[in-house]
Structure 1
Amino acid sequence: MLKKKMLKALNDQINAEMYSSYLYLAMEAYFQSISLKGFAAWMRVQVQEEMMHGMKFYDFVNERGGKVTLEAIAKPETSWNSPLAVFEAVLKHEEHVTSLINDLVDLAIGEKDHATNNFLQWFVSEQVEEEASAGEIVEKLKLIKGDTSGLFMMDAELGKRVFTMPAPAAE
């Protein structure tokens, strides 16, 4: 059974993950609007990943006998000045999500909630990957600066990304 403070924090994280999905959907729409279909496809995968993250929290709360409480999702930003500006925003957002996950881990440790702490370790590892992926794209976009041929090559590269569900945890 989840303690009240932990339950509130996990419900807040469900909202944060759904917001992330919504934010990346707005970014996908931006890329669609400027005809960068590969960038848009990369964002669509990110939308699916974030939705899946939210559902992992949702399922965990239910498995632990808690009550999921859904709140309004904040409106995301919808326009950016460049693909680089979008991915700088992605990196900043993922760093924020990492801080949220770290706060949840700290709370779980403080509450002596070992099951939640164990559950959260997957997200700790996931955030390392999320930040590294966004950071790599930021660095590549900085390297190509405004070179359209480089941008189109990146568009083709990013368009190859596909969503794959993570393997279920070993029981």
Structure 2
Amino acid sequence: MTKNHYIYETQRIGVKGLTREELEGAYPHWLNDQAICAFNSHGIYPASRASAAAFIDSLQGDRNQVVWAVYHKGDHCHIGNLSLQAMHWINRSAEIAFLFGARSYWGQGYAEEAARLLLRHGFRQLNLHRIYCATAASNTGMRRLAEKLGMCEEGTRRQALYLDGRYVDAVEFGLLCDEFAG
């Protein structure tokens, strides 16, 4: 991956649209890793390279989601994906979602950097008014990330998620365009 292929970049990361190129790396394996997918729906059904390819192909021309591959610029490693999905064009809103599978990069701020790029894109290029996310109440990492991004905790949906054999609360976060400091 070279600089010329990035849509946006910071000093440490570059982002580009998710393509079949990412199938050549570890991405398809992330979808079946229970530690990586502990708080999302990817690990529920077994995923294959073919199903990952079908998902990537479905993104072509899809105006209801933006999915980016995140690369570490130092070693050109694909470290994660993030997306704006469930776009509602009348309400001008979308949900932000994360899948960072390269564990050696966890806890170093890469998801926050990438999310700031995507939030800026959502608010400035897509003219969204509100971007939101939800996570399990026990997902302290995602809760911290939402707060670092300036998202406000908006409420709790009681027993809204079924994780690891039990129902758990989902905490909702939201960010409005005029609150975004990016």
Length-normalised TM-score, structure 1:
0.29
Larger Rg: 1
Which structure is higher in RCO with an 8 Å CA cutoff and minimum separation 6? Answer: 1
The TM-score, its normalising length taken from structure 2, stands at 0.28
Normalized per residue, the structure richer in helix is 1
